Structure 1
Amino acid sequence: MTYPTYNFKKLILAGGTMFAMLAVPLAVNSVTGLDLGVISAAHAADDGGSSKKGGGHKGKAGSQKGAQGKGGEASKKIFRIPAAEEDSDRPVWAGVKGGKSGGGGKPVGAGTKKGDLFGDMVVVLRDANGVPILTSDGLVQVIAYVYDASGNLVPLKDASGNPVVIPYVDGELATTINGVPVYSAEVDLGRLSVARAPDKVLQHSLDEALAKLTTSGAVIALDAAGRLTVNGTAIDSPLENLALYDTYMKTGTLPGVTLPANFNPAALLAAAADKTGSISVDTVVYMDSILGINSGTTYYDFSSVNYDRYTTWKNATATVLVLQPDGVTYKAETVNLYDAVFNSTNWTDPTPVGGADDFATAADDYLKVIEFVHDNGVR
Structure 2
Amino acid sequence: MTHPTYNFKKLILTGGTMFAMLAVPLAVNTVTGLDLGVISDAQAAEEGGASKKGSATKGGTKKGSANKGGQGKGGSSNKIFRAPVDTAEDSDRPAWAGVKGGKAGGGGKPGGAGTKKGDLFGDMVILLRDSNGVPILTADGLVQVIAYYYPEGSTTLVPLKDSAGNLVVIPYNAEGDLLPTVTLDGKTYDVVGAEVDLGRLSVARAPEKVLQHSLDEALSKLTATGVVIGLDAAGRLTVNGVAIDSPLENLALYDAYMTGTLPSTLTLPTGFTPASLLAAAADKTGDIKIDTVVYMNSILGINNLASGTYYNFDTYNYDRYTTWKNATATVLVLKDGVYVPTVVNLYETLFNSTNWIDPTPTVGDAGADDFAAAADDYLTVIQFIHDNEVR
Are 1:174 and 2:179 matched, yes or no? yes
Which residue type is aligned with residue 373 of structure 1?
I
Give the residue type in structure 1 aligned to 2:111: V
Amino acid at match of 2:179: A
Q: Number of paired residues?
A: 348
The answer for the alignment partner of 1:358 in structure 2 is: 370
Relative to structure 1, the CA distance from residue 274 to residue 173 in structure 2 (aligned partners, 3 Å threshold; closer, same or farther) is same
Which of 114, 118, 121 pairs up with 2:117?
114
Partners of 1:110 and 1:369 lie apart in 2 by: 33
Q: 1:145 to 1:67 in 2, by over 3 A?
A: farther
The answer (yes or no) to whether the contact 1:144–1:155 under 8 Å persists in 2 is yes
Q: Residue 146 of structure 1 contacts residue 181 of structure 1 at CA under 8 Å; is this kept in 2?
A: yes
Letter in 1 for 2:160: L
Higher relative contact order (CA 8 A, sep 6+): 1
- Match for residue 30 of structure 1? 35
TM-score (norm 1): 0.85
Query: What is the deviation of 1:84?
Result: 3.4
State the alpha-carbon separation in 2 of the partners of residues 168 and 339 from structure 1.
Answer: 45
Deviation at 1:76, TM superposition (A): 7.0
Give the counterpart of 1:315 among 326, 350, 362. 326
- Of the structure 1 ranges 11-20 and 356-365, higher mean CA displacement relative to structure 2 is found in 11-20
2:11 aligned partner: none
SS in 2 for 1:300: coil
Corresponding residue number in structure 2 for 1:131: 134
2:163 aligned residue: 159
State the SS of the aligned residue for 2:375.
helix
Aligned with 2:379 (options 367, 373, 378): 367
Q: Counterpart of 1:187 in structure 2: which amino acid?
A: V
Q: Partner of 2:202: helix, strand, or coil?
A: helix
| Separation (CA, whole Å) in 2 of partners of 1:82 and 1:371 | 9
1:206 partnered with 2:209: no
Q: Which range moved further: 180-189 or 67-76?
A: 67-76
Counterpart-to-counterpart distance in 1, 2:291 and 2:243: 27
1:53-72 mapped onto 2 (5 Å cutoff) = 63-65=59-61, 70=68, 72=74
Residue in structure 1 matched with residue 317 of structure 2 by the alignment: 306
Report 1:210-289 matches (<5 A): 210-251=219-260, 253-289=262-298
Shift in Å, 1:27:
6.1
Over aligned residue pairs, what C-alpha RMSD do you find? 2.5
Aligned counterparts of 1:203 and 1:183: Cα–Cα separation in 2: 37
How far apart in 1 are the matches of 2:78 and 2:97?
29
Cα deviations across residues 282-312 of structure 1 (Å, max 9, x unaligned)? 1100000000000111000001111000010
- Asked if structure 1 preserves the Cα contact closer than 8 Å seen for 2:62 and 2:285, the reply is no
Tell me the equivalent position of 2:389: 377
Residues 113 and 83 of structure 1: CA distance in aligned 2, closer, same or farther (over 3 Å): closer
Q: Secondary structure at the match of 1:201?
A: helix
Cα displacement string for residues 228-257 of structure 1 (whole angstroms, at most 9, x for unaligned residues): 101000000000000000000000744431
Find the aligned partners of 1:94 and 1:333 in 2 and give their Cα distance: 34
CA contact (8 A) 1:93 1:194 kept: yes
Q: TM-score scaled by structure 2?
A: 0.83
Residues 321, 306 of structure 1: alpha-carbon distance in 2 compared, 3 angstrom cutoff: same
SS at match of 1:107: coil
State the alpha-carbon separation in 2 of the partners of residues 25 and 158 from structure 1: 17
Deviations 1:326-360 (A, max 9, x none): 2x111111111101111111111112335101000
| Correspondence for 1:13 | 3
- Shift in alpha-carbon separation, 1:187–1:365, aligned structure 2, 3 A: same
- The residue identity in structure 2 corresponding to 1:16 is Y
Q: Which moved more, 1:356-365 or 1:255-264?
A: 255-264
Structure 2 gaps of 5+ residues are 8-20, 38-46
Aligned equivalents of 2:77 and 2:290: distance in 1?
A: 26
8 Å contact from structure 1 (residues 31, 158) kept in 2:
no
| Percent identity (aligned) | 66
